[in-house]
Structure 1
Amino acid sequence: MARVEFKNVVKEYVDEKRGNFTAVTGSDFIINDKEFVVFVGPSGCGKSTSLRMMAGLERQSSGDIIIGDRIVNDMHPKDRDIAMVFQDYALYPHMTIRENLSFGLKNLKRPKDEIERKVAEAANILGLTDMLERKPRELSGGQRQRVAVGRAIVRDPQVFLFDEPLSNLDAKLRVQVRVELAELHKRLGATIVYVTHDQVEAMTLGERIVVMNKGTIQQIASPTELYNKPNNMFVAGFIGSPAMNFIDSRIEGGRAFFEGGSIALDDAMTSGLKAYEGKPVVMGIRPEHIYGDDFVHIASKEHTIVAQVQVIENLGAENLVYFRIGSRMVTARVNPVTEARIGQTKTFVVDRSKLVFFDPSTEVRIEL
């Protein structure tokens, strides 16, 4: 396996009518050998374009792409020693699973015994051994996706590239195949680059995650760091479900004031926000760090919010309670037996140790 490196990679598209469009702006990163890295972001953020540039299906406008110890800028895709799994399974319907798995190796003129060995190994790893004589139409969506992964495994490439491979599967099957992919990475010890728009997939699969927006990398970090220390409001709002709450606030005298109330800050926060004294900030708090006061035995008024309940979503294992502070809708993830009712004025307790603050003009997180 091998590492992948982007050095100031830019991708521009030229349109005579609309002018130039920059899909990826100066990407710099290193994916380490045997690492599982996930690119995530909304549609059009540049994540799939980045993957396609690694594969050689798109040519970068400038910058260098390095796979292993080779600069591959001018290298044909077939010579880059990568294997790509697409959203569409792209299996040959008239071939058996065995024939689908072996097709690429036959084109490469590999010895027959080597082909048989690699097909058998891949089938065993993916639980396809009993299905080798079936046609793709006889398999479920999850099984077909495993065949698509198997075609990549038999190649024994330096790097595996996955472009939203679970998008065509239903929710339950996505979870199942997601677990299988995580186990597969452990077994193969492979370098895997995975693209998705689903932040749950990103958080559960990636050892590190590359968050992109509008062609620019916003943050590269582990799932835990992204969740607890997002670089900016975009990352904070994109990572986590439900998303982080943002409350327009003002710092004065060791308190964060907002419409209808205030929260006392601890000494460390007060010191870290000294430069914002008397100025507006955006206070961030995740839904699971807001509790209904009926489940908190000791609730200081110094870190509570009193608001009218607007909406309640009963999800069985938990309830999501929505209330409004100023123009912002705020979500609290509470115990499912909460006594909250729509229209009720309720006291919510905030875990102030989990508060984060952002500069409203730059949307960058303030280091405390």
Structure 2
Amino acid sequence: MAEVKFVNVVKEFEDEKKGKVVAVNNANFTIRDREFLVFVGPSGCGKTTSLRMVAGLERQTSGDIYIGNRLVNKVHPKDRDIAMVFQDYALYPHMTIRENLGFGLRNLKTPKKVIEEKIKEAAAILSIENLLDRKPRELSGGQKQRIAVGRAIVRNPSVFLFDEPLSNLDAKLRVQMRVELSELHKRLGATVIYVTHDQVEAMTLGERIVVMNEGEIQQIAVPEELYEQPNNMFVAGFIGSPPMNFVKARLDGNQLYTAGYTFTVPGHLLPKYSRYDGKEVVFGIRPEDIVTVHLLNSEPERNVISPTLKVVEHLGAELLLYFNIGDEQVTSRVSADAKVKGLTPVKLYFNLDKMQLFDPETQERIN
């Protein structure tokens, strides 16, 4: 296996209408040997372009990419010692599964006996021994995805590349395949670079996550850090489901004034925000940090409001409560034990120990 390093990597495209478009802007980071790293972000953010540059399917405009200690800027894709799993499986319909698994090795002139051994090993790892003599049309979506992964495994590459491999599967099968991919990584001890637009998938699979937006890397961190210490409003709003609530506010001493409600900032947080005293800020709080007073042992003295609910969504074990603070919609996620009914006012406690404040101009989190 091997580490992968981006050094000042820039990728630009020419667009007929927009002119020059920067798909990846000055990327500098290292993917550690045997790490499972996930790129996540909205469509067009540059995550797939980054993956394709590692694969050699796109050539960077400037900068260097290393796989292991080897500079691969001018190395042909087939010579980079990588294997890629695509979104659409890319199986040959006229070949059996056995033939699909061995196709890449046959092109590399690998001895027939070695090919059979590698196919047998990959089939055992993925529990697909009984599928080897079938054709792709006879398989389910999940089985096809396993075959696509198996075709990468037989190559025994330095780096595995996954380009949104689960996006064509239904929700239940995606959950199952996430578990299987995570277990597979532990078993192989492989370096894995994985691209997805699904933040739940990213948080589940990634040892570290690269969050991208409009070609810029917003943050690289472990899942817990992304969730608890987002660099900016984009990361805070993209990571988490439902996303973080954002409300315009003004900080005055230990008081946080919003449209219609005043909150008291815990004393231990005030030094952190002292330079924003008397200024406009953006108040951020996660839905699970807004709870019904009904579920607390006693009603807190501060930071309790009684908004009129707009919508109550019942999700089995949880309820999502929607209400407004000024013109901004706010979501609370509470246990179904809260037994909120109808759209009547309900007392909600805001746990400001968990809040974040952001600069309204730069959108950066205030440290």
The equivalent of 2:219 in structure 1 is: 219
The equivalent of 1:159 in structure 2 is: 159
Measure how far apart 1:19 and its partner are: 1.5
The equivalent of 1:129 in structure 2 is: 129
Tell me, which stretches of 5 or more residues in structure 1 are unaligned?
Answer: none
One-letter amino acid matched to 1:253 = G
Mean Cα deviation higher: 330-339 or 195-204: 330-339
Alignment of 1:36-47 (within 5 A): 36-47=36-47
The equivalent of 1:269 in structure 2 is: 269
Measure how far apart 1:17 and its partner are: 5.0
Over the matched positions of the two proteins, sequence identity in percent amounts to 62
Residue 308 of structure 1 aligns to a residue whose secondary structure is coil
Q: In the aligned structure 2, how far is the partner of 1:36 from the partner of 1:17? A: 37
Q: In the aligned structure 2, how far is the partner of 1:297 from the partner of 1:173? A: 40
Alignment of 1:293-332 (within 5 A): 293-332=293-332
Measure how far apart 1:113 and its partner are: 1.3
Mean Cα deviation higher: 311-320 or 346-355: 346-355
Deviation digits for residues 60-111 of structure 1 (CA, Å, limit 9, x no counterpart):
0000001001110111100100000000111111111111101111111111
Q: In the aligned structure 2, how far is the partner of 1:244 from the partner of 1:14? A: 35
The equivalent of 1:105 in structure 2 is: 105
Alignment of 1:281-296 (within 5 A): 281-296=281-296
Residue 155 of structure 1 aligns to a residue whose secondary structure is coil
Q: In the aligned structure 1, how far is the partner of 2:123 from the partner of 2:30? A: 31
Measure how far apart 1:343 and its partner are: 3.4
Q: In the aligned structure 2, how far is the partner of 1:49 from the partner of 1:268? A: 43
User: Number of residues paired by the alignment?
Assistant: 367
Q: In the aligned structure 1, how far is the partner of 2:275 from the partner of 2:154? A: 58
Measure how far apart 1:306 and its partner are: 2.4
Residue 346 of structure 2 aligns to a residue whose secondary structure is strand
Residue 88 of structure 1 aligns to a residue whose secondary structure is coil
Q: In the aligned structure 2, how far is the partner of 1:223 from the partner of 1:16? A: 38
One-letter amino acid matched to 1:321 = L
The equivalent of 1:18 in structure 2 is: 18
Alignment of 1:133-148 (within 5 A): 133-148=133-148
One-letter amino acid matched to 1:327 = D
Alignment of 1:1-16 (within 5 A): 1-15=1-15
Alpha-carbon contact 1:310-1:342 (below 8 Å) kept: no
One-letter amino acid matched to 2:76 = H
Alignment of 1:245-260 (within 5 A): 245-260=245-260
Structure 1 length-normalised TM: 0.98
1:280–1:85 Cα change, 3 Å: same
1:256–1:18 Cα change, 3 Å: closer
Residue 338 of structure 2 aligns to a residue whose secondary structure is coil
Alpha-carbon contact 1:261-1:306 (below 8 Å) kept: no
Structure 2 length-normalised TM: 0.98
Residue 6 of structure 1 aligns to a residue whose secondary structure is strand
Q: In the aligned structure 2, how far is the partner of 1:121 from the partner of 1:364? A: 49
Q: In the aligned structure 1, how far is the partner of 2:334 from the partner of 2:55? A: 45
Alpha-carbon contact 2:312-2:343 (below 8 Å) kept: no
Measure how far apart 1:303 and its partner are: 1.8
Alpha-carbon contact 2:287-2:331 (below 8 Å) kept: yes
The equivalent of 2:243 in structure 1 is: 243
Alpha-carbon contact 1:262-1:305 (below 8 Å) kept: no
Residue 94 of structure 1 aligns to a residue whose secondary structure is coil
Q: In the aligned structure 1, how far is the partner of 2:112 from the partner of 2:79? A: 22
Mean Cα deviation higher: 112-121 or 202-211: 112-121
One-letter amino acid matched to 2:357 = F
Deviation digits for residues 16-41 of structure 1 (CA, Å, limit 9, x no counterpart):
55321111111111000000000000
Q: In the aligned structure 1, how far is the partner of 2:2 from the partner of 2:176? A: 28
Q: In the aligned structure 2, how far is the partner of 1:247 from the partner of 1:342? A: 25
Residue 22 of structure 1 aligns to a residue whose secondary structure is strand
Measure how far apart 1:337 and its partner are: 3.5
The equivalent of 2:356 in structure 1 is: 356
The equivalent of 1:169 in structure 2 is: 169
Residue 160 of structure 1 aligns to a residue whose secondary structure is strand
Q: In the aligned structure 2, how far is the partner of 1:342 from the partner of 1:53? A: 52
Moved over 3 A (4+): 15-18
Residue 172 of structure 1 aligns to a residue whose secondary structure is helix
Alpha-carbon contact 2:42-2:197 (below 8 Å) kept: yes
Alpha-carbon contact 2:249-2:257 (below 8 Å) kept: yes
Alignment of 1:332-343 (within 5 A): 332-343=332-343
Q: In the aligned structure 2, how far is the partner of 1:335 from the partner of 1:56? A: 48
Alpha-carbon contact 2:250-2:258 (below 8 Å) kept: yes
One-letter amino acid matched to 2:176 = Q
Deviation digits for residues 118-158 of structure 1 (CA, Å, limit 9, x no counterpart):
00000000011111111111111000000000000000000
Alignment of 1:196-207 (within 5 A): 196-207=196-207
